[in-house]
Amino acid sequence: MNLTFSHLIALLPLMLVCVTVVIVMLTVAWRRSHFVSATLTVIGLNAALASLILVGQVAPIQVTPLVMIDHYSILYMAMILIAALACSTLAYAYLETLPDQRDEFYMLLGCSVAGGLLLVSSQHLTSLFIGLELMSLPLYGMAAYAFKERLSLEAGIKYMVLSAMASAFLLFGMALLYAESGTLSFTGLGASLANDALHSNWVVAGVGLMVVGLGFKVSVAPFHLWTPDVYEGAPAPVSAFLATVSKIAVFAVLMRLFSLAPATGDGWLHTVIALMALLSMVVGNLLALMQKNLKRIIGYSSIAHLGYLLTALVASDGLALEAAAIYLATYVATTLGAFGVITLVSSPYKGSDAGLLYHYRGLFWRRPYLTAVLTVMMLSLAGIPMTAGFIGKFYIFTVGVESELWWLVGGVVLGSALGLYYYLRVMVTLYLKSADEPERDAPNDWAQQVGGLMVLLLAALVFLIGVYPQPLIDLVQMAGIQMPT
Amino acid sequence: MILLWLILIPFIGGLLCWQTERFGIKPPRVIALVTMLLELAIAIGLWWHGDYGLADTIGDTPNWVLEYQLPWIERFGISFHLGLDGLSLIMILLTGFLGVLAVTCSWAEIDRRVGFFHLNLLWIIGAVVGIFLAIDLFLFFFFWEMMLVPMYFLIALWGHSGSKGNSRVGAAMKFFIYTQASGLLMLVAILGLVFAHFLQAGVFTFDYSVLRTTTLSEPVAMLLMLGFFIAFAVKLPVVPLHGWLPDAHAQAPTAGSVDLAGILLKTAAYGMLRFMMPMFPEAAMQFAPVAMALGLIGIFYGAVMAFSQTDVKRLIACSSISHMGFVLIGIFSNTLISLQGVVALMVAHAFSSAGLFIVSGQLYERLGTRDMREMGGLFGKVGALPGFAMVFVMASLGMPGTANFIGEFLILFGAFEVVPWVVVVASIGLVLAAVYSLILMQRIYFGPAKIDRAYSGLDTREFLMLLTLFVLTIALGFFPQLVLDVSEHAMTEVVTWVSAATNSSTL
């Protein structure tokens, strides 16, 4: 296969991000400056984002059998890049006073984003694995970036050990599938699996192992144990990155895998995923009820939200693709906003993050606008109208009703009711009178900093999507999955 | 366009209140009052100029006096569709009026975070007006959920700290979770209806008039109807689902209780009249015996519970459960007279319960307690307050000459031809109402005096509020046609549609 100019254009975002990483590395070798590294990274990510317009002209296009750049991947690339931009602006405020080298963070972030970009456009198990590892490996370093804090180091190591384990499961599963079907491309697998004669125990084992591996990466129950610990321990901007970029990328490739290689046969895989979804909704929400740490609460709630999202995966027809994209977009905006506020309150770096709910007691009377942002985010996570979360939840209900997945719909209702309890608890804490001077507080000029602006922008976005979602829906509807040629 | 403004005005006013808090305590109050007066004035203007009389023909679509439509989410055929008919007009008049009362009655009670308080108060009003105007099911649900958040804040932040483990945050949380969870069931039912229509017609729509005529198979209709019924039953409340109400009322500030009893409970009855009955007439009629049984249980349970309360506000809250039992029976008997009675009783109950809550709020401001065991013999010691209390208690027990009598009488009268035995049993409930109402009077104002000192009488603001409520209660007791004329057409439509559907299915 010849690489033509349009193939190069299609790969432009990926290349731009990689080039950014290299440039940052060279600059650091020449002279260290936190400001320069951060600026270069932001410029690079923005350039990649802008290049998506060019990519849109040549899409859909297949670049080698591994990668398919279609509108579906462009949509998710855009989401990843925007989330990464938000994370790097948040990280800038946070890292400013970190008593250590700060520039390497941006290289790790760039590498991870490159992995995510590859992941959302992969249509082959090879590129899936490369993308997944490229995305995960830098994350170990990022989670442990404030490694003088015990919790951060613990988070990094915990994530590394468990993630490596999951990768091993994934690889073994792929190997078994390859042994049975002789191909690694999604469509090839689909065609081979559709032939029932080939449904041997090896295929079942292979698919099962892959479910374990991918289930770990998106942190659905019962593979969720790492989530709250890592979310709590990692620096807040990293938790934001983990909760958004890595979730978007893995879920996007999962959706593609599912639509190109649908699980046929007696549908046991659907049952398994449906059970995992139900379990995630219940477990995530139940465990979040009694938490005292906001970061852990968001960690557990992310498990529940992934459970809701799996409903779309189980349905995997009709509105499912659209619903998944909308839900991810709304969830990502919301989570970024929530972690953004946590970051701002914990910035600049002063030891472990301000995660405890008690740090936020009476925040409203000191920082009304910041509190308004966090309130909007909590309401959005709870799925209350006038916020983006409601539109996401509406889509999930719509898909559930459309595909008549009554158990899952019931699960979402139950989960939402449970979830309200802790979202409201967080919310009311913000408005209660605080007894004494706060230990941690956002800097007085938080709203003038890039991180602050980003958070305000996200709040506006969450509100706008909640009130007028049509533009987002239009955007998402253009993003269909292209069959490989 | 005027309908859009009805919704926007409270929202804008609320934001203004929040922002003007920095200029002191007064501006937010004044702005809130002006906003609500404006809202009320628009509603009265609509009433004055509109023609809500009985039209000659009953069509398939409701006869909207005013309509407003904006495309919103085209993907699902959702539009920002508002419509006004007699029923919604009455509800909006009520909302505007109680909004004014809520602002005035918290004038002295709320003295911290005044701006934010009024933001929440006005947003509740805005969302409730939205509920009464929305005729797109998505929009209806949107407002239905939206009113919860400000109400939650109102109870959680400005509520009275409770006694014996009843914290105001707990009460607020209970209120929120009950309503939200049941609301999601309604959302599922709405989506079920939309997809049923989609399968037949191939287009997504959430429009009331279009969805109303969707033909549904019997079990599907029953399930969807139950989805709506449960959501409304929680809000009304119907007895097994009433757990949030006494706590929320007891813990809420006076303005919150006035809103809660006066208009939030009415959204449920409105929802039943506007959506549940017309959209699932056959299923609703099949379900009627169960609903009426629940209504009867509510009447007695509420009355007995009210009798055993020691907290004034809890007593009034429990009496609301009892009154709403009548409303439920009236709705499900589906005769024109009983439905008109429901409308009258809703209005009357809003006045009398608002009056009682305001009186107990004013008692609390003077005595610092809501516990009836610590009161007694207050007659003559708190100015004109006991006199007003007497009027509202009499109204609440359904004394002829008050609006409540008209409502209860019409409901029982209208239901008699359909379900005579239910009416006979329900009438006994009226006796119980007299018992708990008189106990309320006796314990607080008569009997041996527990406290031997005089309190300040009513000031002009307090006096005017109670006087207005008093006049309205009596006026509607003597001239109920003021309300009934406005709602007649809307109610006739409901009755016609329901009986048309049930007749055609039995033939």
**Closest-CA distance of chain B to residue A363, Å:** 14
User: Is A473 in Cβ contact with B142 (below 8 Å)?
Assistant: no
In this prediction, residue B246 carries a pLDDT of 87
**Closest-CA distance of chain B to residue A442, Å:** 22
ipTM confidence score: 0.89
- Asked if the C-beta of B206 comes within 8 angstroms of chain A's C-beta atoms, the answer is no
* Chain B residues near residue A414 by CB distance under 8 angstroms: 181
User: Is A420 in Cβ contact with B195 (below 8 Å)?
Assistant: no
Nearest to A402 among B153, B177, B195 (CB): B195
**pLDDT score of A1 more than 70:** no
The residue of chain B nearest to residue A424, with distances taken between CA atoms, is B173
pLDDT digits (tens, 9 = 90+) for A4-53: 888 889 999 999 999 999 999 999 999 888 899 999 999 999 999 999 99
- Asked if the C-beta of B189 comes within 8 angstroms of chain A's C-beta atoms, the answer is no
Residue A210 and residue A163 in contact, taking contact as beta carbons nearer than 8 Å: no
In this prediction, residue A334 carries a pLDDT of 94
Q: How far apart are CA B18 and CA B29, in angstroms?
A: 10
User: Is B188 in Cβ contact with A425 (below 8 Å)?
Assistant: no
| Joined tokens for residue A393 | 């939840």
Terminal-residue alpha carbon distance, chain B: 44
User: Is B141 in Cβ contact with A397 (below 8 Å)?
Assistant: no
3-state SS, B252-301, equals CCHHHHHHHHHHHHHHHHHHHHHHHHHHCHHHHHHHHHHHHHHHHHHHHH
| DSSP, residue by residue, A453-471 | HHHHHHHHHHHHHHH--HH
Q: How far apart are CA B372 and CA B315, in angstroms?
A: 10
User: Is A394 in Cβ contact with B187 (below 8 Å)?
Assistant: yes
- What are the residues facing A356 on neighbouring strands? A293
| Joined tokens for residue B360 | 């107990």
- Asked if the C-beta of B204 comes within 8 angstroms of chain A's C-beta atoms, the answer is no
CA A123, A129, A133, A134 torsion-angle sign? negative
* Chain B residues near residue A433 by CB distance under 8 angstroms: none
Residue B403 and residue B395 in contact, taking contact as beta carbons nearer than 8 Å: yes
Angle at which helices A406-431 and A368-382 pack, to 10 degrees? 160
User: Is A398 in Cβ contact with B76 (below 8 Å)?
Assistant: yes
User: Is B185 in Cβ contact with A379 (below 8 Å)?
Assistant: no
* Chain A residues near residue B187 by CB distance under 8 angstroms: 394, 397
User: Is B177 in Cβ contact with A421 (below 8 Å)?
Assistant: yes
User: Is A477 in Cβ contact with B72 (below 8 Å)?
Assistant: no
**Closest-CA distance of chain A to residue B72, Å:** 7
Cis ω before A65 (30° cut-off from 0): no
- Asked if the C-beta of B391 comes within 8 angstroms of chain A's C-beta atoms, the answer is no
pLDDT digits (tens, 9 = 90+) for A248-259: 999 999 988 888
Q: B205 in helix, strand or coil?
A: coil
Residue A362's CB: how many other CB atoms inside 10 A?
Answer: 17
**Closest-CA distance of chain B to residue A364, Å:** 11
**Closest-CA distance of chain B to residue A421, Å:** 7
Residue B249 and residue B316 in contact, taking contact as beta carbons nearer than 8 Å: yes
Output the tens digit of pLDDT for each of chain B's 507 residues: 888 999 999 999 999 998 888 888 888 899 999 999 999 999 999 888 877 776 667 777 777 888 888 888 888 889 999 999 889 999 999 999 999 999 998 888 887 788 889 999 999 999 999 999 999 999 999 999 988 889 998 888 888 765 555 688 888 888 998 998 899 999 999 999 999 999 888 888 899 888 888 888 888 999 999 999 999 999 988 888 888 888 888 888 888 888 888 888 899 999 999 999 989 988 999 999 999 999 999 999 999 999 888 888 889 999 999 999 999 999 999 899 999 999 999 999 999 999 999 998 888 888 888 888 888 778 878 888 888 999 999 998 888 889 999 999 999 999 998 899 999 999 988 888 889 988 888 888 887 877 777 788 788 888 899 999 999 999 999 999 988 888 888 888 888 888 888 876 554
User: Is A473 in Cβ contact with B73 (below 8 Å)?
Assistant: yes
pLDDT digits (tens, 9 = 90+) for A290-323: 888 999 999 999 999 999 999 998 887 778 889 9
- What are the residues facing A62 on neighbouring strands? A68
* Chain A residues near residue B141 by CB distance under 8 angstroms: 385
In angstroms, what CA-CA distances link B363 with B114, B356, B392, B468? Answer: 21, 10, 15, 19
Interface of B with A in 103-142 (CB under 8 A): 141-142
Q: How far apart are CA A140 and CA A146, in angstroms?
A: 12
Nearest to A417 among B153, B181, B195 (CB): B181
Residue A462 and residue A330 in contact, taking contact as beta carbons nearer than 8 Å: yes
In angstroms, what CA-CA distances link B383 with B242, B255, B363, B460? Answer: 35, 22, 11, 12
Residue A266 pLDDT class (50, 70, 90 cuts): low
In this prediction, residue B134 carries a pLDDT of 92
Residue A394's CB: how many other CB atoms inside 10 A?
Answer: 25
* Chain B residues near residue A421 by CB distance under 8 angstroms: 173, 177
User: Is A417 in Cβ contact with B191 (below 8 Å)?
Assistant: no
- Asked if the C-beta of B149 comes within 8 angstroms of chain A's C-beta atoms, the answer is yes
* Chain B residues near residue A432 by CB distance under 8 angstroms: 157
Name which of A378, A386, A434 to mutate to probe chain B: the one with the most chain B Cβ atoms within 10 A of its Cβ: A386
State the Cα torsion A457-A462-A465-A471 to the nearest 10°.
Answer: 40
pLDDT digits (tens, 9 = 90+) for A346-393: 877 777 777 788 888 888 888 888 899 999 999 999 999 889 999 999
The residue of chain A nearest to residue B176, with distances taken between CA atoms, is A420
State the residue for tokens 């009265």: B44
Q: How far apart are CA A215 and CA A207, in angstroms?
A: 12
User: Is B180 in Cβ contact with A468 (below 8 Å)?
Assistant: no
- Asked if the C-beta of B80 comes within 8 angstroms of chain A's C-beta atoms, the answer is no
From the CA atom positions of chain B, what is the Rg in Å?
A: 22
Q: How far apart are CA B192 and CA B228, in angstroms?
A: 11
Nearest to B184 among A379, A416, A431 (CB): A416
H helix or E strand, kind and range, residue B156: helix B148-158
**Closest-CA distance of chain A to residue B284, Å:** 22
In this prediction, residue B121 carries a pLDDT of 92
Q: How far apart are CA B180 and CA A423, in angstroms?
A: 13
User: Is B149 in Cβ contact with A412 (below 8 Å)?
Assistant: no
Q: How far apart are CA A447 and CA A461, in angstroms?
A: 16
User: Is B157 in Cβ contact with A431 (below 8 Å)?
Assistant: yes
* Chain B residues near residue A464 by CB distance under 8 angstroms: none
* Chain B residues near residue A398 by CB distance under 8 angstroms: 76, 191
In angstroms, what CA-CA distances link A258 with A77, A314, A482, B250? Answer: 19, 9, 13, 53
State the residue for tokens 């468990």: A162
**pLDDT score of A264 more than 60:** no
Q: How far apart are CA B403 and CA B91, in angstroms?
A: 16
* Chain A residues near residue B156 by CB distance under 8 angstroms: 428, 431
| Joined tokens for residue B38 | 């404006």
The residue of chain B nearest to residue A396, with distances taken between CA atoms, is B188
Nearest to A386 among B72, B146, B181 (CB): B146
| DSSP, residue by residue, A222-254 | TS-THHHHHHHHS-HHHHHHIIIIIHHHHHHHH
Nearest to A473 among B75, B142, B157 (CB): B75
pLDDT digits (tens, 9 = 90+) for A114-160: 999 999 999 999 999 999 999 999 999 999 998 888 889 999 999 99
- Asked if the C-beta of B145 comes within 8 angstroms of chain A's C-beta atoms, the answer is yes
Nearest by Cα to A461 from A340, A290, A357, A353: A340
Q: Which residues contact A14 (CB under 8 A, 6 or more apart)?
A: A48, A114, A117, A118
> From chain A, which residues contact B within 8 Å (Cβ)?
379, 384-386, 390, 394, 397-398, 400-402, 409, 412-414, 416-417, 420-421, 424-425, 428, 431-432, 468-470, 473-474, 477
Type of residue at B37: L
Q: How far apart are CA B407 and CA B448, in angstroms?
A: 35
In angstroms, what CA-CA distances link B338 with A394, B334, B409, B416, B481? Answer: 37, 7, 9, 9, 14
Q: B78 in helix, strand or coil?
A: strand
The residue of chain A nearest to residue B192, with distances taken between CA atoms, is A401
Q: B331 in helix, strand or coil?
A: helix
CA A111, A113, A119, A122 torsion-angle sign? negative
State the residue for tokens 């984002």: A49
User: Is B188 in Cβ contact with A401 (below 8 Å)?
Assistant: yes
Nearest by Cα to B178 from B256, B245, B266: B245
User: Is A397 in Cβ contact with B188 (below 8 Å)?
Assistant: yes
Nearest to B152 among A400, A413, A424 (CB): A424
- Asked if the C-beta of B33 comes within 8 angstroms of chain A's C-beta atoms, the answer is no
- What are the residues facing B245 on neighbouring strands? none
From the CA atom positions of chain A, what is the Rg in Å?
A: 21
**Closest-CA distance of chain B to residue A479, Å:** 15
